[in-house]
Each structure stands twice: as structure tokens, then as C-alpha cells.
Structure 1
Amino acid sequence: MKLSILDLAPVAPGSTVSESFKASVRLAQLAESVNYERIWYAEHHNMSTIASSATAVLIGHIAGQTERIRLGSGGVMLPNHSPLVIAEQFGTLAELYGNRIDLGLGRAPGTDPVTLRALRRDPSAAESFPHDVLELQAYLAGESRIKGVEAIPGSGTRVPLYILGSSLFGAKLAAQLGLPYSFASHFAPAALHQAIAVYREEFTASEQLAEPYVIAGVGVLAAENNTRAHELMDQAKRQRVASFLGRGRDQEFTEAEIDMLMSTPQAEQILDMMRYTALGGPEQVADYLEHFAQNTEADELITVHYPLEESDRLTSVKLTAQACALTSVS
């Protein structure tokens, strides 16, 4: 089973962005030592608990402090940027760090409508996503679609592209372009099986990829025992509900207010995002991930580890690797 990690550079309660980045370095170094396949960082904006907005910058920082593990975006929200700029950014990373860099692409804004305007993004920009992917791919291949314009750096690096999605649109596009497909089942579980089926049925081979390749997102919380795992999961759920429902508030929710929120329909909808989660001790987590991989026929799982505190998150990462036989680390 190939296992990877999606790191949002979470900012824990009472912590800082700077501390979050240091934690991401330690996470990547641990993941490399226990043989995870890759780590991706997601572009989000205006979210106080997520620090991975400047994705390419963070990838470069992590790459400079690791040696082997693949690093990439999961993903860059391409309509927020010009394809040329992204080709230059990831071309720079490829020239610096060689064949360790991935470029996952999404078409969502990664934020709310107000922040969308602050990004200077046209709300209709998502409609040009397929064209922008092709333009970006051409820059990286050294076959620019715009006469006289080359990505420098970037041209000829052929950084591998991945299409990210949470609906059938991304599945169909990835199949049409012959690119790997990563489904965001860790926060948008509804269309998981249908999207993967459509992708596999409609896949057309390309220069980058001869056969379909599916990466499925899945939540993970592994702890020393089942009781501790459920305690940490309760904390993670409360933090997620408070984060989603508290956007725009001047003050944080009190614990009593969160207690009330947890029983609302809004909270139920938010928590359904975590429908696919491996939870428990190492053996339970390994069994869940194996079943999930078989059920989805995914070629790789990208794990999102839910513990709020860094020490618990690192424990989850290490126990999962050991239980899934990625490594023999004691």
C-alpha cells in the first residue's frame, strides 16, 4: 500500500504560523524516515488554522531540509494564478530539487467569496481550467502555446501534473488528459466511488501516464490505543466545527458554545466531511486503510492526520507507517 500525507501546516490553538512551519519540517523528516511516498501542501486563503497558502514557498523550504521524499501541491488552485507563473515557480523547484516535485492542480478558489475578490480572481476563471492546465503543461514541456513566451525556469522540466477533484468534472478532465487523479474524499466524500469509476472508464493514455492512477484522500487518527484515539478525535471534531462556524467572528467560541454547536445540523454537515477516517490503535487503523484501498481500488492513499497537537500528529504518522508495514522502525 502506498501511503502519502497531505499537510495543511495547521496552526494549533495557542500556536503561531512560524511554529507551524517548524512542525511541518519535523513532520516531513519523520515521514521520509518511515517511507511515506510523498507530502503535498494545499493552497488555502484567509483561514486562521491553515498556513499553507504560499504553497511553492513552503515546498521549497521543506525540500531544503529533506533528501528523498516527494513534495508537491495538493493543490495549487490554478484559476488563482497565471499558468506561466506556476510553471516558473515549480520549474524553479524542479531545477533546485530534481525529480522530487509534484504539481497537483485544482480549480476551486480555496477560500470564501470575499477573499476571492481580494485575490483579484474573476469568479468565472474556473471555466478556463482545462485550457490553463494545457497551457501550463506546455510550458513545462518546453512546447509553449504562446509564441515567443517560455517558462524560465520551467521549460523542459516536465514536472508531473495531477488533477485534484471532488466531483465528476475533475475525474473526466484527468481521464481526458491522461493524468493521475486525486479525489478529495477526506473532505468531500459524496462522489468518491462514482468519480473514480468515471476516471477509470474514460481514461486515455498520455505521454505522462500509460494507465489510470488514483490517489484517494482519507483521514487518519492513530494513537497508542482506541481510547486515546477517540479522545483526540473528539478534540479534532470540536476544533473543526468551531473553525468553520466561527469564520468572521471577533471572538473565539467558548467551550460551552461549542457544546451547543456540536448538536446542530451545520455541525453534522461539517463532520460528514470526515466520513472516511481511520480511527483507533495501530491495528484498527491499518485494517481500515487496507479495506478503504481495496474498496476504492485506489493506487495510493493520501492521509490527513487529525490530531491538533504536533506530538500527537507525529505519533499518528509513525504508528500508521509501522502498522501498514512501510518501515521496520521500532
Structure 2
Amino acid sequence: MGILVLGGTLTACSGSGGTEQAAPPNAPGGGTASATPSAAPATHPFTGGRTGLRNPVLAVKIENTRMALPQSGVRSADIVYVEQVEGGETRLMAVYSSRLPSRVGPVRSARISDLHILPQFGRPAFAFSGVQSKMKKHIRKAPVYDISQDNGGRAYFRAGPKPIPYNLYADPRTLLKQAPKAEGPRDIGFRFGPAPEGGEPLRTFTAKWPSTQMSFTWSAKQKRWLSAHNGRTNTAAEGGVLGGRTIVVQYARTTRSAFHDFLGNYTPLIKTTGTGRALVLRDGKSYDARWSRPSEAEGTTFTTAAGEPMTFAPGQVWVLLVNDGKPRIP
């Protein structure tokens, strides 16, 4: 299946941890970001690191409300997207390639905004608990390997004291066995390296959505931003505090779609193509930036106010998709 570019008129629908392991190498037939099938990028395009350069890409939808905490496997992700969903809450899409945790979750359902984000990764494996019936046709057409709960078999399991639907987890290595041709990492626009000139010293930044917020506080000792969820430290199920070396606040137009949940709350549609403003946090500083993504098959580039590439600190990147300031959907 070729890459499907999802048009702008597409509407939306609606523990314990383990040891981290190296992700399995990509199976024959999987792609890489390189010019030839035998070559690999010098550094991982998602993290700037030197491991997992040929590993397949796996994206997993993870619950991000109070009932889901603490989450499993998030600390091992290369990229963590935070997306608005119904009722002004948020949900994560964690992207893995360079390493895998032993479990991820709680795994929750996909949204159409995911299918606008994912084409830049080629054809990754996509894990989620399910979708409403109106969205199934979009999943079938999307450039992803559908390894949802319906197709993932024994990769999914329920564990721990949380009630349904907050107790569904998955084994990433078993998930990837269901998508042996999932593509490897490709250039999605990120650039890693020394910090650019300038920047404003910053200790804490709080991103707000209609019904929730997340804060990130710089830790000079750990050299990363530590997160809090609605004022509470965001502890990982495996121990420690979730957070990243680089936090990208990407301001994107967020509108209501033609879909809604069973309570009548409209599903947001996040526009991640075009251009917009961003705030990039790294090394205890904030940088005003611009983002640009010409089409859904292409990556998202970030530039400084001076028009130079906005470099990220090597390591985990969080991308917070925040409404661009225009009227919010109800």
C-alpha cells in the first residue's frame, strides 16, 4: 500500500513496569529513511542517538487522564505526542523505535488526528484499543499496519487494579510480530545538536488544554524536563518521573470534527500541516520557533526566530499539540 495523504477535509472520530530492551531489527521488506535499502542514517532521526537505526517504528495510543496514572512504557518512547481529545482532555501517542519497554499502557482508542500525524513516519505499526465504526474505513486506508486489539492477539492483556478501560496493556515486541514489514525510522524534520544562540532561561512551563494541564520543570541534575499532570508529579510505572530532554509546544489549529463520543462531546481535529508558532524547551531555556509541514507525507521542521534550524537536545522529545489561540471547540 502506498502512502495516503489525508486531505484537509477529512473529519475525525472519535501496572507495573519492566526492563527496557533493544527493539528488534526491522524484518526484510521494511524501509528506512536512507537513500538505499542497505544504508542507515548516522544517527536516529527521532532522538539523535546511535542505537536502533534500522528498527521498525511502533506508535501506541496511551490514556493520559488521572485514572490511567502511572503509565507504563512512556519513558522508553523516542517521541511522545500529547493530543487533545473529547471533553478537553488529552491522550498520548508514544512512538518507539530505538528501544522498547516490556509493556505499554493503558492502551486506548485512536483518533483521526493520529492519521494526520502518522504519514510522515512512512508505514509504521499502529497499536490502539479500537475505534468507533465510522473511523474504521479511515484506518483501512491509512499508511499504517493496524495492530489494534482486534488484530494484536495475545499482545494485549489486562492487568492491575484499575477498572476497564484503564487496565489494557500490550507487549511491544509481540505487537511488532504482527507487523513484520513495518518501516524503519526516516527523517521527520527533527534536527539535533548544540543549542542555538539566545533563548530565555526558564524553570517551568505549563501547557493548558480546556480540561487539563501538564507542567514541565527543568532539572539541571537530570538534564531533562520533569513533568507534572494537573499539579501532581507524573511518575512512571517503572519508577522515576516522566519527562524529556526537549519539549516542543506546537501551536496548531484545533477545530471540532463531524464526530463525537457517546456523551455528545465533539472530537477535536488537530491541523498539523501548514505553518505555525512553537516554543522549544531545552537545556533550561525556551526558544521562540516556527514549525512547517508542507504535506502529511512530509516531516515537521522547526526554525528559530532568525530562520535557522532549531536544534533539539539528543534524547526523548515531547510534542505538545496545543490550540493556536483561536476560539476553542466546546
TM-score bracket, normalised by the shorter chain, equals: under 0.3
Considering only CA atoms, is the larger Rg found in Structure 1 or Structure 2? 1
Give TM-score, length-normalised by structure 2.
0.28
Higher share in helix: 1
Ranked by relative contact order (alpha carbons within 8 Å, sequence separation 6 or more), the top structure is 2
TM normalised by structure 1 equals 0.28
